[in-house]
Amino acid sequence: MAHAIVNSGRNKIAFVQGNGLVLNATHFVFADIPGLDHTVPVNLAQGMPAVGQIVKTLPITAHGYVAENKVVYSIILGPTLGDFYFNWVGLVDADGVLLGVSTIPRQFKFKTAGLNVGNTLTRNFLTQYNNAQATTGIDVPAETWQISFMDVLDNIDVALTTDMRDFFGRSLFFNDGFQILLGASSEYFVQPGIGYVEGYRIKNAAIGSIGSAKNVDVYVEVHRSATFSGGETTAQVVTSPTGIALADFIDSAGRKHFFEKVATISAVGVVTDLRVKRTVPGPLINTFATAAQGSKADSAIQPDQLALQPVIRRLRLLALAGL
**Strongest mean pLDDT among 62-66, 293-297, 308-312:** 62-66
CB 26 within 8 A of CB 94: yes
Quick one: pLDDT band at residue 305, thresholds 50, 70, 90? very low
Residues facing 98 on adjacent strands: 92
Percent of the chain having pLDDT more than 70? 81
Quick one: pLDDT band at residue 122, thresholds 50, 70, 90? confident
Element of type H or E holding 200: strand 200-204
Indicate if the pLDDT at residue 285 is higher than 80.
no
Q: What is the pLDDT of residues 169-183, one digit of tens each?
A: 999 999 999 999 999
Residue 87's pLDDT is: 96
Q: Give the residue with greater pLDDT, 140 vs 300.
A: 140
Q: What is the pLDDT of residues 105-117, one digit of tens each?
A: 999 999 988 767 7
List CB contacts of 25: < 8 A, sequence separation 6 or more.
60, 63, 73, 91, 92, 93, 94, 99, 127, 136
Indicate if the pLDDT at residue 226 is higher than 70.
no
Q: Give the span between the Cα atoms of 282 and 278, in whole angstroms.
A: 12
Which residues in 186-207 are b (16+ Cβ under 10 Å) and which e?
eebbbbbbbbbbbbbebebeee
CA neighbours closer than 13 Å in the CB half-sphere of residue 40: 5
One-letter amino acid identity for 163?
D
DSSP conformational letter for 138 = -
Residue 151's pLDDT is: 59
pTM metric for this prediction: 0.51
**CB atoms inside a 10 Å sphere around CB 23:** 24
> What is the DSSP secondary-structure string of 24-90?
-EEEEEEE--TT--TTSPP-TT--PPPGGGEEEEEE--EEEEEETTEEEEEEEE-TTS--EEEEEEE
CB 95 within 8 A of CB 123: no
Q: Are strands 193-197 and 200-204 parallel, antiparallel or unpaired?
A: antiparallel
> What is the DSSP secondary-structure string of 247-260?
PPEE-TTS-EEEEE
Quick one: pLDDT band at residue 158, thresholds 50, 70, 90? confident
Q: What is the pLDDT of residues 232-251, one digit of tens each?
A: 788 999 999 999 999 999 88
Quick one: pLDDT band at residue 300, thresholds 50, 70, 90? very low
The order of strands in the sheet holding 62-67 is 62-67, 70-77, 121-128
Q: Give the span between the Cα atoms of 122 and 298, in whole angstroms.
A: 43
Q: Are strands 277-278 and 171-174 parallel, antiparallel or unpaired?
A: parallel
Q: Give the span between the Cα atoms of 151 and 96, in whole angstroms.
A: 34
CB 223 within 8 A of CB 233: yes
> What is the DSSP secondary-structure string of 154-197?
HHHHHHHHHHHHHHH-SEEEETTTT-EEE-GGG-EEEPPEEEEE
Residue 55's pLDDT is: 97
Q: Give the residue with greater pLDDT, 103 vs 253.
A: 103
